[in-house]
Structure 1
Amino acid sequence: MTKYKLEYIWLDGYTPTPGLRGKTQIKEFDHFPSLEELPLWGFDGSSTEQAEGRNSDCVLKPVAVYPDPARKNGALVMCEVMMPDGVTPHPSNARATILDDEGAWFGFEQEYFFYKDGRPLGFPEHGYPAPQGPYYTGVGFKNVGDVAREIVEEHLELCLEAGINHEGINAEVAKGQWEFQIFGKGSKKAADEVWMARYLLLRLTEKYGVDIEFHCKPLGDTDWNGSGMHCNFSTKYLREVGGKEYFEALMAAFEKNLDDHIAVYGPDNHMRLTGKHETAPWNKFSYGVADRGASIRVPHSFVRNDYKGYLEDRRPNSQGDPYKIASQVLKTISEVDIKAVAAA
């Protein structure tokens, strides 16, 4: 038998953006534990905005497990938060109630800033560095500094070793800003892996003395980009049938549901979605081929392939909850699919 270090990870009850929490327990197994073998585990919800002190018990229910590459005999255990009965989802548990479909594919582009001493990594103590331009996909010390690439490369390796479907990295438009991409089939699987990748990044930066800033517009109303989490999506129908008429009906549904999307696409999006810096205004819907200033960017390949393939919703921001984002996208698509199936 081997003693395994099980890191139980969950989302707390803070609003408008939940935080990641984790604690470790040791259990003996004669092999890497399967999800079914992992026990429920309690925690103090009064310390995570999920219960009152007089009745503080909450329960962690394992829902996904990954090897922990940073620990010998370690496992990363993604959990849902349950009420004390271990069966009823806690009100803060967004994962338990979202729409899910394994035929729906999601690719999330997670942007973020490295921060040190209260400012983006590489910014001078006073004022700003040279304007945006050379930093996006940049190389060299003057563009990316001396530690950022080391962190993102190590994070990439950790994700791959954990079995997370990490698909790429690049330096972003603003100095100190980076991006990683996660792809998954099904809302829950894709969102689980985004949250786990965020967790691994946050834990990694502890040893570098650097913080991660996920706020969508940390530099406020300045000529510096904010951070998004663009959501690339497709469904089986969109990939295999599609068609211009269906696409136009889909865009009409997205426009009709604009407010519902913005409500779950991350807090403070009005600060980021201003119509500047390759964003569409938060209160207007638009789409266009290869248009990075539209709400939804339509790839050239999608049009060439008779309106089949994937689309990119550019409105979700870097603080967004991928469970809620993916679920809202599916909810809007389902309105159109019901009509399409009925017509067929």
Structure 2
Amino acid sequence: MTKYKLEYIWLDGHEPVQNLRGKTQIKEFAEFPTLEQLPLWGFDGSSTNQAEGRSSDCVLKPVAVYPDPERTNGVLVMCEVMMPDGVTPHVSNKRATVLDDDGAWFGFEQEYFFYKNGRPLGFPEAGYPAPQGPYYTGVGYSNVGDVARKIVEEHLDVCLAAGINHEGINAEVAKGQWEFQIFGKGSRKAADEVWLARYLMLRLTEKYGIDIEWHCKPLGDTDWNGSGMHANFSTTYMREVGGKEYFEDLMAAFESARADHIAVYGPDNHMRLTGKHETQSIHTFSYGIADRGASIRVPHSFVNSGYRGYLEDRRPNSQGNPYEIASQILKTIASVPVEIEQRLAAAE
């Protein structure tokens, strides 16, 4: 038997942005544990904004398990928060109520800023560095500094070793700003891996004395980009059937549901979605081919394939909850009738 270090990870009850929490227990197993072998585990919800002190018990329910490459015999355990009965989802448990579909694929582009001493990494103590331009996908000390690339490369390696479907990294438009991409099939799986990638990034930067700023517009009303979490999405129908008529119906549904999407796309999004810095106004819905300033960017490959493939929603922001974002996208897609036989005939 081997003693495994089980890191139970969950989302607390803070609003409007939940924080990641984690604690470790040691359990013996003959081999790397399966999800079914992992027990429920209680915690003090009064310390995480999830219960009152006079009745503080909450329960962690394991829902996904990954190896933890940074610990000997380590296990990353993504959890949902349940009420004391271990069955009823806690009100803060967004994962338990999301619309899910294994045929729905999501690719999240998580942007963020490295922060040091209260300023983006690489900013001078007073004022600002040279304007935006050379930083996006930049190379060289003057553009990316001497530690950021080391961190993102290490984070990439850790995520891949953990089995997280990490798909890439790049320096972003503002100085000190970076991005990683996570892909998953199904709302819950994709969102689980975004949260775990966030957790691993936060834990990694502890040893560098650097913070991660997830806020969508940390530099406020200045001529610097904010941070998004663009959501690339497709369903089986979009990939295999699609068609221009269906696409137009889908965009009409997204326009009608604009307020529902904005409501779950992350707090303070009005600061970011201004119509500037590659965004559409928060009050407007638009779509366009290869248009980075649209609400929905339509790739050339989508149009060239007969309006089949994936689309990119550019409105979600960097501190949004991927469970809610993916679920809302699926709800809007589900509102569009799919008359498969008729649409297949039209496509032919």
Q: What's the TM-score, normalizing by structure 1?
A: 0.99
Query: Which residue of the partner structure matches residue 240 of structure 2?
Result: 240
Query: Which residue of the partner structure matches residue 249 of structure 2?
Result: 249
For 1:331 and 1:215, locate their aligned partners in 2 and report how far apart those are by CA, in whole Å. Answer: 26
Amino acid corresponding to residue 211 of structure 1 in structure 2: D
2:216 matches 1:216: yes
For 1:144 and 1:196, locate their aligned partners in 2 and report how far apart those are by CA, in whole Å. Answer: 25
Query: Which residue of the partner structure matches residue 320 of structure 2?
Result: 320
Offset at residue 342 of structure 1 (A): 9.0
Offset at residue 242 of structure 1 (A): 0.2
Offset at residue 21 of structure 1 (A): 0.1
Query: Which residue of the partner structure matches residue 339 of structure 2?
Result: 340
Query: Which residue of the partner structure matches residue 154 of structure 1?
Result: 154
Offset at residue 341 of structure 1 (A): 4.8
Offset at residue 339 of structure 1 (A): 4.6
For 2:342 and 2:290, locate their aligned partners in 1 and report how far apart those are by CA, in whole Å. Answer: 30
For 2:129 and 2:194, locate their aligned partners in 1 and report how far apart those are by CA, in whole Å. Answer: 30
For 1:31 and 1:211, locate their aligned partners in 2 and report how far apart those are by CA, in whole Å. Answer: 35
* 1:15-54 equivalences in 2 (<5 Å): 15-54=15-54
SS in 1 for 2:331: helix
For 1:104 and 1:31, locate their aligned partners in 2 and report how far apart those are by CA, in whole Å. Answer: 32
Q: What's the TM-score, normalizing by structure 2?
A: 0.98
SS in 2 for 1:102: coil
Instruction: Describe the superposition over 1:186-213 as per-residue Cα deviations: whole angstroms up to 9, x where unpaired.
Output: 0000000000000000000000000000
Offset at residue 343 of structure 1 (A): 6.1
2:90 matches 1:90: yes
SS in 1 for 2:335: helix
Instruction: Describe the superposition over 1:123-182 as per-residue Cα deviations: whole angstroms up to 9, x where unpaired.
Output: 000000000000000000000000000000000000000000000000000000000000
Query: Which residue of the partner structure matches residue 329 of structure 2?
Result: 329
For 1:309 and 1:27, locate their aligned partners in 2 and report how far apart those are by CA, in whole Å. Answer: 44
Q: Which runs of 5+ in 2 are unaligned?
A: 344-348
For 2:139 and 2:185, locate their aligned partners in 1 and report how far apart those are by CA, in whole Å. Answer: 33
Query: Which residue of the partner structure matches residue 278 of structure 2?
Result: 278
Offset at residue 340 of structure 1 (A): 3.2
2:115 matches 1:111: no
For 1:300 and 1:140, locate their aligned partners in 2 and report how far apart those are by CA, in whole Å. Answer: 32
For 2:305 and 2:148, locate their aligned partners in 1 and report how far apart those are by CA, in whole Å. Answer: 39
Q: Which aligned segments of 4 or more residues in structure 1 are displaced greater than 6 angstroms?
A: none
For 1:229 and 1:340, locate their aligned partners in 2 and report how far apart those are by CA, in whole Å. Answer: 32
Number of equivalences = 343
2:136 matches 1:130: no
Q: Which runs of 5+ in 1 are unaligned?
A: none
* 1:59-208 equivalences in 2 (<5 Å): 59-208=59-208
Instruction: Describe the superposition over 1:56-111 as per-residue Cα deviations: whole angstroms up to 9, x where unpaired.
Output: 00000000000000000000000000000000000000000100000000000000
For 2:322 and 2:177, locate their aligned partners in 1 and report how far apart those are by CA, in whole Å. Answer: 20
SS in 1 for 2:327: helix
SS in 2 for 1:87: coil
Instruction: Describe the superposition over 1:264-296 as per-residue Cα deviations: whole angstroms up to 9, x where unpaired.
Output: 000000000000000000110000000000000
* 1:299-314 equivalences in 2 (<5 Å): 299-314=299-314
For 1:108 and 1:198, locate their aligned partners in 2 and report how far apart those are by CA, in whole Å. Answer: 12
SS in 2 for 1:6: strand
Query: Which residue of the partner structure matches residue 292 of structure 2?
Result: 292
% identical equivalent positions: 82
SS in 1 for 2:76: strand
For 1:341 and 1:161, locate their aligned partners in 2 and report how far apart those are by CA, in whole Å. Answer: 41
